[in-house]
Structure formats: structure tokens, C-alpha cells
Amino acid sequence: MTTTTPIEEDGVKRRDFLYIAAGGVGAVGTAFAIWPFVAQMNPSADVLALSSTEVELDAIEEGSEITAVWQGKPVFIRHRTKAEIAAAEDVDIATLPDPQADADRVENPEWLIMVGVCTHLGCVPLKEAGDYNGWFCPCHGSHYDTSGRIRKGPAPANLVVPPYEFLSETTVKIG
């Protein structure tokens, strides 16, 4: 008994189709099988659940600052003085490395709320320090102004403003 595979005129065999189809299905199946092993590294449900934090503001006096924790990261909540607000607003935005108006970074100019993580490599900047009396990151020398905008140093961007809303005059919900 002999079996023959019909050969098409251009030399393509039915078996070629079977090879490609089987290989393709195998590759897709392998990708599906790998995915859980990659995805398990992403934040788990309980980590994602810690998505917001509420902070009382009434104890923070003008010119002082607290550090809250949101998603494991420090969040600076600063009750800015008039001088600090004026310094932040009195800047030619076009000259900034990451141009942004102070008004776009605050809901209420008195309260500056931002993630206290240097946008360079993640250190926590020191308050009331640096060339612009804002924040200074000791790790690699980034200077931020009183609006938390990068002014000098290796950091590529301004300190991040997290999503937040004022629940009342004295309570803010971050996240």
C-alpha cells in the first residue's frame, strides 16, 4: 500500500499547511501558558485595594508639612505660606524643564499635595532645601521649587501630583 501526498503546482504541500497551523497553535498556546507566570508579578488584589487614603488637615499650620502614606509611597502635604505661593507663581513657565503652571498643580494654592518621590530614581527629597527653597533630593542632586517643579539636576519631571479631592474644608482624600 502506498500513500501519496498530492503536490500543488507551486510546490506547496498540504503537509506544509499542517506544519504551519500546528506550529501557530502551539505558539499561541505557549504564550497563553506563559502569561500567568508573567502576570503574577503585577500588584495583587490586596495591594490594589489600598488605593486611597484620607488625611485630616486642620492640625497642619501654615508653613509646615506632613508626610502621609499612599500606596506605600510618601505624600507631602504642605500648607504653603503666602511667600511660597508667590514664589511658585512668579516664574516664567517657558523656562522650566517640565513646564507647568503652579495653578495646574494645586486645587487650593494653600495646599500643595504631591507624591514625595524624586522623579529621578525614587528617593524622598528633603523639604525646605535646595537652590529654590522647595525640595532637594540628596541622592543625585535634584532641586525642586516651592511648587515641587524640577528646576535643576538629573530628574526629568516635576514631583507627581496624585489624584485627590477635598471631602470637606479640613479633609482630603488621596487616590
Partner 1 sequence: MSFEPKNPMVKWVEARLPITGMLHHALYEYPTPKNLSYWWTFGSLAGFMLVVQLITGIVLSMHYTAHVDLAFDSVEHIMRDVNYGWLLRYMHANGASMFFIVVYLHIFRGLYYGSYKAPRELLWWLGLVIFLLMMATAFMGYVLPWGQMSFWGATVITNLFGAIPVVGDTIVTWLWGGFSVDNPTLNRFFSLHYLLPFVIVGVVILHIWSLHTSGSNNPTGIEIKDKQDSIPFHPYYTVKDLFGLALFLILFSAFLFYAPNWMGHPDNYIPANPLVTPAHIVPEWYFLPFYAILRAVPDKLGGVMLMFGAIAVLFALPWLDKSRIRSARFRPVYKQLFWIFLLDCVILTYIGGQPAEEPFILIGRIATGYYFAHILILLPLVGMFEKPKPLPASISADVLSKKSSDEEASNA
Residue 3 in the binding site for partner 1 (CB under 8 A) = no
**Residues from 129 through 168 that contact partner 1 (CB under 8 A):** 137-141, 153-156
Please select the residue that binds partner 1; options are 57, 60, 85, 124, rule is CB under 8 A: 124
Residue 43 in the binding site for partner 1 (CB under 8 A) = yes
Shorter beta-carbon distance to partner 1: residue 119 or 158: 119
Taking contact as CB under 8 A, which single stretch among the options 4-12, 16-24, 27-35, 115-123 is the one that binds partner 1?
A: 115-123
Q: What distances in angstroms separate CA 137 from CA 3, 103, 116, 160, one per listed residue?
A: 77, 24, 10, 14
Q: Smallest Cα–Cα separation from 173: which of 27, 6, 54?
A: 54
Please select the residue that binds partner 1; options are 33, 41, 45, 49, rule is CB under 8 A: 41
To the query of whether residue 140 is one of the catalytic residues in this protein, the response is: yes
Give the gyration radius of the chain's Cα atoms: 28
* AA letter at 154: P
Alpha-carbon torsion angle 83, 124, 142, 144, nearest 10: -20
Which residues on adjacent β-strands are paired with residue 127?
135
Taking contact as CB under 8 A, which single stretch among the options 57-65, 79-87, 100-108, 121-129 is the one that binds partner 1?
A: 121-129
Instruction: Give the residue numbers annotated as catalytic, written as ranges.
Output: 140
